[in-house]
């Protein structure tokens, strides 16, 4: 937001929420809305209501974003908060029953054109009106109108901010928000790290940053006004801190720290060929989570035994229409070939919530509460053709190497039964046509990430071949803390006894049913939790590749009997602070 920029000089420190660890030093690129490509086309008389509806949805989204930004701005020093508050209020006002809003609605109806084009026209007209005013302050409001228009258009076209391809290598992105779709466009050879105003530490964007090994911080109030493009910045991911225009001594200090981290990474790399076993000989399977196919190389480089979680959303992001069966088959086959016989657990589509795939916009609708709405398996069971195409692609790709099918956001046995019926139908269809498919039929498993599923794990276990515990959503839904909201990030705590009991119950239910149980949420990749998970009986972990060596190092230090006893003590505790202390003590950190 241009107008909130200040002319601060010299080293400044801005704090946010820890996103992805590591240190990045480089020139800042402040991501602005920029010039947007606005599609323009005629619509039919019958489509006017639907088009106006699209505009209204974009309007609500824009209002919500501005309201969030305003709440965020309250954390800033008083004067800045006040100035920014006025600006955001002005933007909000422009979106509330204003001339602009009425103008767009009238233009859609009278000119029979799409909403984006109508916004563009209305913006030009209102901005021209402001520019012609003699008062310099009022004339400058034209910029605000354009900014509001750009926001509306972005929300209408679902355009990610930018592809960040034109930047010099080593750039650090500074943005209001980066969606998982934006993050998917980041090339780690160009972008060295990023910081945003919005977003939480367990958001999918944060998960992607950790997967790419990109230092990142979120929830930095005053970020857009506090950094100029081209200024040198340091991102200290583990501290959740950004240092702008550092003094020479600060720069030197951080360069030293970065070198230390690199040395540590090289030391951990030496563990790659050593077995993942505890000091008393218990083997623990270590696999990688994959967000994008290009991460296969890093998964193999750290010695992952397979892909424990393939988030297939990447296939549906940053495109206008969903991929068909053949395209998905090609993509999965490529991964299977690259993994050279190591197993891949393919999770079916898990869009919804904060993970929006624009190619599915019309299917997703605009739920009242996206985290609780039509997402993941619920969408697949509603859009059966989409689900069938994905299952067919997995089955066909499975002819080339071992795969497992994983269903996200399962809450009950009914969804498993329905999914199996569809799977059986797809298998029959493919066999009838003589299409080669996986033989034997791939194991079918479910994510345990909804509290109801964890509590009913014994019932679910009777219907599936494996469990994958998703601690990210499990924590979010158990504690009612949005994992992507930086304002409540400090309350997000997988060590809450409620979360741990659900994990324990699911693990034990899996053991009783003799089905494999893995943990593939972010807890699995944090070596602080390794002893506890092992002590609870978990023997398979799947995580972002960069976390794997450190977790292996921790496993090799752990005595399983001691870890089991410590887990028992921990599970008798009611207070998460006490649990954290007991764990840190066991880890030798207290």
Judged by the rule CB under 6 A, the positions of this chain that interact with ligand PEP are 207, 309, 311, 350, 449, 470-473, 520-521
Closest CB 542 distance from ligand PEP, rounded Å: 8
DSSP letter at 10? S
470 is a site residue for Mg ion (CB under 5 A):
yes
Indicate the residue among 473 and 486 with the shorter CB distance to ligand PEP. 473
For residues 459-474, one letter each, b for 16 or more C-beta atoms within 10 angstroms of the residue's C-beta and e for the rest, the string is ebbebbbbbbbbbbbb
325 is a site residue for Mg ion (CB under 5 A):
no
Stretch that binds Mg ion, among 63-71, 126-134, 253-261, 468-476 (CB under 5 A): 468-476
Rounded to 5 degrees, what are φ and ψ at 13?
-115, 130
473 is a site residue for Mg ion (CB under 5 A):
yes
- The residue whose two tokens read 């870890």 is 563
Indicate the residue among 100 and 509 with the shorter CB distance to ligand PEP. 509
Task: Tally Cβ neighbours within 10 Å of residue 64.
Answer: 11
Closest CB 309 distance from ligand PEP, rounded Å: 6
Q: Where are the alpha helices (DSSP H) in 247-383?
A: 248-269, 296-301, 325-339, 361-364, 376-382
Indicate the residue among 451 and 521 with the shorter CB distance to ligand PEP. 521
- Asked about 400 being catalytic, the answer comes back as no
- Catalytic-role residue among 29, 91, 496, 520: 520
Contact assessment for residue 16 and residue 218, using Cβ atoms and an 8 Å cutoff: yes
HSE toward the beta carbon, residue 403, CA cutoff 13 A: 28
Closest CB 540 distance from ligand PEP, rounded Å: 13
Q: Give the CA-trace dihedral at 316, 322, 326, 331, to 10 degrees.
A: -10
DSSP string, 518-573: EE-SGGGG-HHHHHHHHHTT--EEEEEGGGHHHHHHHHHH--HHHHHHHHHHHHT-
471 binds, among ligand PEP, Mg ion, none (CB under 5 to 8 A by kind): ligand PEP
Instruction: Tell me the two tokens of residue 244.
Output: 């702008």
Contact assessment for residue 393 and residue 359, using Cβ atoms and an 8 Å cutoff: no
- The residue whose two tokens read 């609500």 is 60
Closest CB 291 distance from Mg ion, rounded Å: 13
Residues β-bridged to residue 346? 310, 405
Please give the C-alpha separations between residue 556 and each of 265, 276, 381, 538, 560, in angstroms, as whole numbers.
17, 7, 42, 15, 10
Report the residue from 295, 449, 482, 540 that binds Mg ion according to the rule CB under 5 A: 449
311 binds, among ligand PEP, Mg ion, none (CB under 5 to 8 A by kind): ligand PEP
In the three-class reduction of DSSP (H, G, I as helix; E, B as strand; rest coil), residue 186 is classed as: coil
313 is a site residue for Mg ion (CB under 5 A):
no
Evaluated on CA atoms 574, 579, 580, 582, the torsion sign reads positive
Indicate the residue among 66 and 351 with the shorter CB distance to ligand PEP. 351
Closest CB 446 distance from ligand PEP, rounded Å: 12
176 is a site residue for Mg ion (CB under 5 A):
no
DSSP string, 366-384: --SSGGGSS-HHHHHHHSH
Stretch that binds Mg ion, among 170-178, 473-481, 511-519, 523-531 (CB under 5 A): 473-481
- Asked about 29 being catalytic, the answer comes back as no
Angle between helix 576-586 and helix 497-512 axes, rounded to 10 deg: 70
Indicate the residue among 520 and 538 with the shorter CB distance to ligand PEP. 520
H or E segment and range at residue 310:
strand 307-311
219 is a site residue for Mg ion (CB under 5 A):
no
Closest CB 375 distance from Mg ion, rounded Å: 10
236 is a site residue for Mg ion (CB under 5 A):
no
Closest CB 58 distance from Mg ion, rounded Å: 27
Q: How many chain residues interact with Mg ion (CB under 5 A)?
A: 3
Residues β-bridged to residue 404? 345
Indicate the residue among 236 and 449 with the shorter CB distance to Mg ion. 449
Stretch that binds Mg ion, among 7-15, 121-129, 469-477, 488-496 (CB under 5 A): 469-477
Indicate the residue among 108 and 206 with the shorter CB distance to ligand PEP. 206
Stretch that binds Mg ion, among 56-64, 155-163, 244-252, 465-473 (CB under 5 A): 465-473
Indicate the residue among 289 and 587 with the shorter CB distance to ligand PEP. 289
Closest CB 449 distance from Mg ion, rounded Å: 5
Indicate the residue among 303 and 470 with the shorter CB distance to Mg ion. 470
- Catalytic-role residue among 166, 204, 400, 490: 204
Closest CB 355 distance from ligand PEP, rounded Å: 7
DSSP string, 100-168: HHHHHHHHHHHH-B-HHHHHHHHHHHHHHHHHT-SSHHHHHHHHHHHHHHHHHHHHHHT--S----SSP
291 is a site residue for Mg ion (CB under 5 A):
no
Catalytic residues: 204, 520
Give the binding site for Mg ion (CB under 5 A). Answer: 449, 470, 473
């Amino acid at each position: 937001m241009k107008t909130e920029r200040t002319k601060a000089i010299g080293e400044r420190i801005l704090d946010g929420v820890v996103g992805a660890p590591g240190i990045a030093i480089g020139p800042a690129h402040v991501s602005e809305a920029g010039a947007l490509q606005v599609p323009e086309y005629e619509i039919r008389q019958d489509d006017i209501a639907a088009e106006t509806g699209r505009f209204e949805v974009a309007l609500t989204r824009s209002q919500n974003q501005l309201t969030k930004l305003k709440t965020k701005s309250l954390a800033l020093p008083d004067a800045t908060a006040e100035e920014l508050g006025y600006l955001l209020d002005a933007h909000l006002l422009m979106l509330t029953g204003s001339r602009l809003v009425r103008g767009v609605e009238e233009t859609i109806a009278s000119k029979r054109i799409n909403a984006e084009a109508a916004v563009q026209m209305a913006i030009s007209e209102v901005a021209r009106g402001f520019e012609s005013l003699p008062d310099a302050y009022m004339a400058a409001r034209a910029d605000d109108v354009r900014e509001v228009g750009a926001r509306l258009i972005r929300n209408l076209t679902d355009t990610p901010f930018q592809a960040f391809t034109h930047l010099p290598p080593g750039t650090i992105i500074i943005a209001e928000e980066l969606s998982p779709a934006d993050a998917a466009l980041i090339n780690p050879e160009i972008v060295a790290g990023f910081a945003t105003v919005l977003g939480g530490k367990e958001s999918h964007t944060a998960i992607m940053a950790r997967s790419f090994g990109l230092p990142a911080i979120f929830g930095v109030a005053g970020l857009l006004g506090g950094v100029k493009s081209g200024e040198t910045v340091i991102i200290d991911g583990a501290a959740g801190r950004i240092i702008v225009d550092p003094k020479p001594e600060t720069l030197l200090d951080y360069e030293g720290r970065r070198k230390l981290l690199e040395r540590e990474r090289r030391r951990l790399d030496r563990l790659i060929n050593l077995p993942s076993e505890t000091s008393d000989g218990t083997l623990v399977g270590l696999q990688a989570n994959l967000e994008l196919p290009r991460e296969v190389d890093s998964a193999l480089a750290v010695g992952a035994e397979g892909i424990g979680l393939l988030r297939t959303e990447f296939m549906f992001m940053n495109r206008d229409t969903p991929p068909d069966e053949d395209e998905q088959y090609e993509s999965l086959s490529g991964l299977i070939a690259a993994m050279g016989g190591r197993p891949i657990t393919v999770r079916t589509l898990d869009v919804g919530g904060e993970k929006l795939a624009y190619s599915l916009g019309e299917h997703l609708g605009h739920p009242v509460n996206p985290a609780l709405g039509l997402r993941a398996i619920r969408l697949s069971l509603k859009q059966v053709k989409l689900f069938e195409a994905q299952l067919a692609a997995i089955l066909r790709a499975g002819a080339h190497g071992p795969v497992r099918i994983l269903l996200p956001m399962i809450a009950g046995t009914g969804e498993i039964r329905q999914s199996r019926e569809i799977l059986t139908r797809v298998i029959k269809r493919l066999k009838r046509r003589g299409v080669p498919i996986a033989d034997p039929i791939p194991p079918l498993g479910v994510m345990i990430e909804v509290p109801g599923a964890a509590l009913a794990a014994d019932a679910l276990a009777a219907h599936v071949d494996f469990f994958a515990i998703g601690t990210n959503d499990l924590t979010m839904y158990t504690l009612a803390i949005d994992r992507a909201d930086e304002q409540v990030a400090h309350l997000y705590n997988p060590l809450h006894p409620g979360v741990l009991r659900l994990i324990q119950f699911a693990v034990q239910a899996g053991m009783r049913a003799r089905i494999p149980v893995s943990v593939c949420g972010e807890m699995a990749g944090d070596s602080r939790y390794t002893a506890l998970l092992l002590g609870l009986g978990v023997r398979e972990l799947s995580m972002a590749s960069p976390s794997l060596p450190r977790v292996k190092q921790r496993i090799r230090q752990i005595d399983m009997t001691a870890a089991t006893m410590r887990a028992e003590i921990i599970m008798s505790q009611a207070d998460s602070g006490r649990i954290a202390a007991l764990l840190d003590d066991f880890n030798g950190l207290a």
